[in-house]
Structure formats: C-alpha cells, structure tokens
Amino acid sequence: MTTSTTPSRSVLWTMTASAACLLANHALAGSGTGLQPGCTYDLRGLTPLMEQFLTANPQFPGAGLVIQVDGVAVYERYFGSYNENTVVAIASATKTPTSALLLALQDDGLLTLDSTVGAFIPEFRSGNLAQITVRQCVSHTSGLPANNPAISSDTLSLAQAVQQIAGVGLRRVFVPGQGLVSVLPGTDFCYGGVSMHVSGRVAEAASGVPYAQLLSQRILLPSGMASTFFSPGTLANPRIAGGLNSTARDYANFLQMIADDGVRNGVRVLSETACRQLLTNQTGTVPLTCTPSFVYPDARYGVGIWLERTDELGNTTQASGIGAFGFNGWIDPQRRVVGVLMVSAGNGFQDSGAFAEQIKAVVRQRVDAGPRPIADIVAIGGEPLPPPGPAGDGLVTGDDFVAFVRGFVVGSPIADIVRIGGDPAPDGRITGDDFIAFINAFATGCP
C-alpha cells in the first residue's frame, strides 16, 4: 500500500470545510435504480479465495476476476502476473460471442435460427444434411461430428473447411442389430466445434463479409471488445468455436451488453428478443449424448452458452461461456450479475472448474445479502476493522467520519475507498479522491 504524504493541518481544515458543504448539499443523490452511489457489495472475501487458489495451483501464472452488478463494477482485481491488459486464449468461451453474431444477422433480416444451412451452403442441400438448421448448429444438435481436423487447418479457407465437413456427413453411432446408424439432425446433443464452424460459414455467406471482419464489426467492437481477436494466421479459417483471445474486461463488456438487453453505451448491438433467445434452452429435451464433464451434468444449452441454473419456472438464472483452459464468464439475469474469472493453463478447467462454481456461489450469497454503505467503516465497539478495507457495524454515523479522517491522515487502509476511475472500491492509493468519495457516500448513506 502506498499512501499520500500526510496533509498539513490547513489542508485538512480545507478538506473538512469542503466536506461540510458536501454534506449540506447531499451531493451524489441516488438515481433510484440499481446500485446507489455510496453503496457496494461486500465481496472482500473473494480476494483470499483467489490468492489461495493460485498458491494451490502454481500452473496458473496469474488470474483476474471481474464482478459487475447492474452494470457497476463492484470487484475487479488481478493476481500474479496478470493485469487488466492481460490477453488469454478463451477457448470455448468463444462460442458465445460467435453465436451472438448469428442472432445479429437474424436481427438484420439476413437469416433466422430456423433457416437451413443449405440455404447458404450448396454442400448442405441434399440428403439428411439438408435438414440441418442454424439453430441446431449453435446448440450442438445438428447431428454433425463433434470434431474434424478441418476446423483447425491453417491452409484452408472457412469455405473449404466446411466443404470437407459436409463431405464427412452426419455423425454415426453403433446400434445393436443395425450397425452404424447416422444421427439425424435435432435428435441429440453432442458438444463440439464442427457445427459451430458451419454456422460461421453461414454468417459469412449470408453477409458477404469475411468472417473475422464481420465478427469484429457486428459484435466485438460495438460490445466493447477492442482487445479481442483471433490468433494471427487463422483469419482465413478462424476457429469459430474456440479461437478467440480476450481480456477479462472485454468479456465482461460483452456479457453486460447481453444483460442490458443488447445495448452497449446507448448503441443497440442485439435486439431484446435475440438476448432472450441466447439465454433460452435451444436443445429441448433431446438426449445429452456428448456433454463435457466440466459443467453441470444435466445442463442445457442456449445459443452458444451453457444454461447451468434455472428457477422453478425454467427461467435461466446462471449461464456461462466456458473455455477448456479455465476462462469462465457468466450471467445471472435475476441478480443482474455479470462475472468473469480469467485463468489459463493447459488443463485449466479440470483444475479450476469447481473453484469457478465456488466463486459464483459466494457472489450469489453476497449480492443476496444486499449492498452496504462504503462510508460504514467502524465496527461494533467503535474500532475500525483491519485491512482489506471498509466494513463496519451497518450504520453510518459520526464515528465513521472521525475514523475515516484519522485513517486518511495516517494513511490507514480504511481510507482507501476509491478505485481507478473514481468508482468506490480500493485502488491501493490514498488520495484526495478517497476523501471526496467518502464524504459523498457519508452524505447519501446507502438506501
């Protein structure tokens, strides 16, 4: 912790006088919706969990965790060698933004989820391949094999790769008494990358724009994902199901756009209908034939995203984009929570999957407990609590003001309540911004 130079008595008097004015005028009144100014959620317990995880799993060089509630970043920290600019391969978490592209093209009137692949790709116009729809491609119910070397080829174009996929045809399984039988489209769920690759070629053919360029223009840039990209050398045949590299902040921006019904910074990226479709079960009740072990065993699938938890009415309450290296981004629509756990290692999800669910459970618990005032820094008994920061007795009183001023003068961690950018949350520096933020928070309390 680095602290500012202790202010002189005259400076402190000036700041206290300013504080009195702010208190009198009740600066930063609440907006009436969402998380109110001066409030946050007590997520401090996430930090020791993250530190303990990295200590126990040295194969991960670092980690990042971003939690947003109602569009406000209430926790954002990086550990080990990671920082806010760290880019990692997100593997199958790619499927959510690439599938969202199909919904964007549906919004544009170029296709629907029920369009047949054959309407755009000639090789899918005969036999059972002619039955495959876009919906089946983005929900792994197309009947196509899970994998094909063409999706990873750096010598083929996307069109050529999909031609090879069509040449292989539907997945075949052994049925006693019948031998090898083709799996018909729409009859089972088999997770993989092939059907997603086909959906990418559909997007390219329907729009007339090269895939990587189209994804960037229609989803990545308007969603706030300027640091997200396919690996160099793969742009002719990008891995639609798992080839993106991204940052925790970029992915959180994308998920927030979904949580905000398709709008980012006042610009509509997807329709409300598209966002609802993305989070709605697209697999029906078909058998889950090929389901990775790293998700809930009975999890269903939306449009490019796992539907991990539902309420008693079947509404999605937790949906996640998950990568094999450990990257995990999720939405909790009921709590208005968006979260991203950024880790990356060879067998990342095998080592971090259970931990990701622990993080999600803690976030649910703390958000359900409700927000607390950041100006509440005095514990029962009148003594400020030790680091990592503000947490008090549930009341905002004069004791908190006195404790904060003393803490500010001596550089105590209880006075560090502002993150970079000015939003309340510690940034490791005690400056005048912390003083102003505290006074504003003291004035408004926390409804």
Note the pLDDT tens digit of each residue in 335-368: 999 999 999 998 777 888 899 999 999 999 999 9
Report domain extents, the chain.
2-42+371-444, 51-368
Amino acid 234: pLDDT: 87
What number of other Cβ atoms are within 10 A of residue 109's Cβ?
Answer: 7
d(CA 57, CA 353) in angstroms, rounded, equals 12
Q: How far is CA 70 from CA 40, 256, 334, 344, in A?
A: 11, 9, 10, 27
d(CA 106, CA 155) in angstroms, rounded, equals 30
d(CA 431, CA 320) in angstroms, rounded, equals 38
- Residue 12 scores a pLDDT above 90: no
Q: Kindly state the helix (H) or strand (E) to which residue 264 belongs, with its residue range.
A: strand 263-264
Amino acid 447: pLDDT: 64
- Residue 386 scores a pLDDT above 60: no
Q: Which residue has the higher pLDDT, 295 or 359?
A: 359
- Residue 290 scores a pLDDT above 60: yes
267-268 and 288-290 strand pairing? unpaired
- Residue 4 scores a pLDDT above 70: no
- Residue 388 scores a pLDDT above 60: no
Task: Indicate the pLDDT class of residue 422, thresholds 50, 70 and 90.
Answer: low
- Residue 421 scores a pLDDT above 80: no
- Residue 200 scores a pLDDT above 70: yes
Q: Kindly state the helix (H) or strand (E) to which residue 329 belongs, with its residue range.
A: strand 328-332
Yes or no: say if 197 and 165 are a contact pair by the CB < 8 Å rule.
yes
Amino acid 20: pLDDT: 45
Stretch among 104-108, 172-176, 400-404 having the lowest mean pLDDT:
400-404
- Among 405, 407, 437, residue whose Cα is nearest residue 419: 437
Stretch among 7-21, 88-102, 321-335 having the lowest mean pLDDT:
7-21
CATH number of 51-368: 3.40.710.10
189-190 and 288-290 strand pairing? parallel
Q: Which residue has the higher pLDDT, 379 or 65?
A: 65
pTM of the model as a whole: 0.86
Q: Kindly state the helix (H) or strand (E) to which residue 14 belongs, with its residue range.
A: helix 9-25
- Among 414, 443, 413, residue whose Cα is nearest residue 2: 413
- Residue 27 scores a pLDDT above 60: no
Residue written as token pair 């910074």: 265
Amino acid 104: pLDDT: 98
* 125: amino acid identity, one letter: R
Amino acid 398: pLDDT: 84
